[in-house]
Amino acid sequence: MLRIGMLTSGGDCQALNATMRGIVKTVLNNSEEPVEFYGFEDGYRGLIYGNFRLLSWADFSGILSQGGTILGTSRTPFKLIHEPDENGLDKVEAMKQTYSKLKLDCLCMLGGNGSTKTANLLSEEGLNVIALPKTIDNDTWGTDITFGFSSAIDVAAKAIDDIHTTASSHGRVFVIEIMGHKVGWIPLYAGVASGADVILIPEIPYDMDNVIKAIEKREKSGGRFAIIVVAEGAITKDDAKLPKKEYKKKLAERMKKYPSVAYEVAEEIANKSGREVRVALPGHTQRGGAPTAFDRIFATQCGVEAGKAILEGKAGFMVAQRNWKMVRVPLKEVAGKLKLVDPESDLVQEAKFMGISFGD
């Protein structure tokens, strides 16, 4: 009997279900022995507290295009993983005991950076773990792309597209906040796809004077409106020079006045340019809805690669794609690393040639 556990950890995204489906179909269609699949509810919490259910083939029928996750998910911060819960429970030991109790041959974990740290920890503790790169942010190190990213781009781009008409009608400047606390992959791609005039991302600190210049340049060329795409973690050049503690303190103070960075940027633009400015936030819609065809394909590829490894008795890695090839990257090489946008990358430079300003 082959016993496989699965969980989805961290923020939800599109194509989680498609990935699990890929694992299940691959193993069931190729295993020479009976197989049982155990789904842990709400991420690592399910593994910690033994909340799981035995899954059948019917659970995976018709979910290829279904967003979200049939298992539920939650965030279990790695920095707290070694701290006992409110009842004194050792979380790591509890996960190991659940794995052992069910006599699992492998645990498939669908998650991003923080979740992969925990996966690596469990692997080092002797569990057979395979990670699959889930995150709309595309910031998981070791893979060219993550599932959820393509879908999030489409949602964000659609939101920006829709703003164009009202911005044009009223001759307004719109500041559109796109998800991305630490990295700017979604705002970069969605901004380029939707013809943004300015894109502000964490990796390229900005100067507001340069943002104003970009707006004025567009106005002089006859543009009635301007679209400013701002990542949640966009940062000014001055703030980028601050020590980490001081910057965190400044962010805490900013939250008392502004709901998010977009509102601060909008106010500055209005004060310095005299233009009418509005703010739009697509928010969690970027995580929702059906996955794109591309995400379904990549998610399926990830599932197949994980399934093949399970049948081979291999674990201790993250499934990834590099140069359009599916590969297996050791968990210890992935854990704790963040994939940032390179300011010198082709897309950033091409965007600049197109006249898009990054405020730098």
Q: What's the whole-number mean pLDDT along residues 159-164? A: 96
Tell me: do 252 and 320 sit in the same domain. no
342 assigned to some structural domain = no
pLDDT score of 156 more than 90: yes
Q: Is 312 helix (H, G, I), strand (E, B) or coil?
A: helix
Tell me: do 159 and 140 sit in the same domain. no
Q: Which amino acid is at 109?
A: M
pLDDT score recorded for residue 182: 95
Q: Is 231 helix (H, G, I), strand (E, B) or coil?
A: strand
348 assigned to some structural domain = no
Helices (H), 125-207: 149-170, 185-193
Beta pairing class for 317-322 and 325-330: antiparallel
pLDDT score recorded for residue 336: 86
Tell me: do 192 and 231 sit in the same domain. yes
Q: What's the whole-number mean pLDDT along residues 75-85? A: 94
pLDDT score of 315 more than 90: yes
340 assigned to some structural domain = no
Q: What would the two tokens of residue 341 be?
A: 């946008």
Task: Give the whole-angstrom CA distance, residue 71 versus residue 293.
Answer: 22
Tell me: do 49 and 139 sit in the same domain. yes
Residues forming the active site: 137
Tell me: do 139 and 178 sit in the same domain. no
Strands (E), 35-135: 35-40, 52-55, 106-111, 129-133
Could you tell me the strand order of the sheet in which 35-40 lies?
Answer: 52-55, 35-40, 2-8, 106-111, 129-133, 317-322, 325-330
Task: Give the whole-angstrom CA distance, residue 358 versus residue 352.
Answer: 8
43 assigned to some structural domain = yes
Tell me: do 193 and 104 sit in the same domain. no
Tell me: do 140 and 157 sit in the same domain. no
The total number of structural domains that make up the chain:
2
Tell me: do 188 and 114 sit in the same domain. no
pLDDT score recorded for residue 80: 93
Residue (of 339, 326, 335) closest to 300 by Cα position: 326
* pTM (predicted TM-score): 0.95
Tell me: do 93 and 220 sit in the same domain. no
pLDDT score of 87 more than 90: yes
Last residue of a domain, one of 252, 287, 322: 287
Q: What's the whole-number mean pLDDT along residues 13-20? A: 98
135 assigned to some structural domain = yes
Instruction: Report how far apart the first and last C-alpha atoms of the chain are (Å, whole number).
Output: 59
353 assigned to some structural domain = no
Last residue of a domain, one of 269, 287, 305: 287
Tell me: do 271 and 164 sit in the same domain. yes
User: Which string of b and e fits 258-296 if b means at least 16 CB within 10 Å?
Assistant: eebbbbbbbebbeeebebebebbbbeeebbebbbbebbb
Q: Report pLDDT digits (tens) over 215-236.
A: 999 999 888 999 999 999 999 9
352 assigned to some structural domain = no
360 assigned to some structural domain = no
pLDDT score of 276 more than 90: yes
Q: Which residues lie below 8 Å from residue 281, measured CB to CB, with a gap of 6+?
A: 176, 177, 260, 262
Tell me: do 136 and 165 sit in the same domain. no
**Cα dihedral 40, 43, 49, 51 in deg (nearest 10):** -30
Q: What would the two tokens of residue 213 be?
A: 């210049």
pLDDT score of 305 more than 90: yes
**Which CATH number does the domain housing residue 235 bear?**
3.40.50.460
Tell me: do 142 and 162 sit in the same domain. no
Q: What's the whole-number mean pLDDT along residues 268-273? A: 95
Task: Give the whole-angstrom CA distance, residue 299 versus residue 19.
Answer: 5
Q: How confident is the model at residue 178 (pLDDT cuts 50, 70, 90)?
A: very high
**Which CATH number does the domain housing residue 24 bear?**
3.40.50.450
Q: Which domain holds residue 326?
A: 2-148+291-334
Last residue of a domain, one of 261, 287, 313: 287
Cβ–Cβ < 8 Å for 108, 122: no
Q: What's the whole-number mean pLDDT along residues 275-300? A: 97
Q: Which residues lie below 8 Å from residue 216, measured CB to CB, with a gap of 6+?
A: 273
Q: Which helix (H) or strand (E) holds 206?
A: none
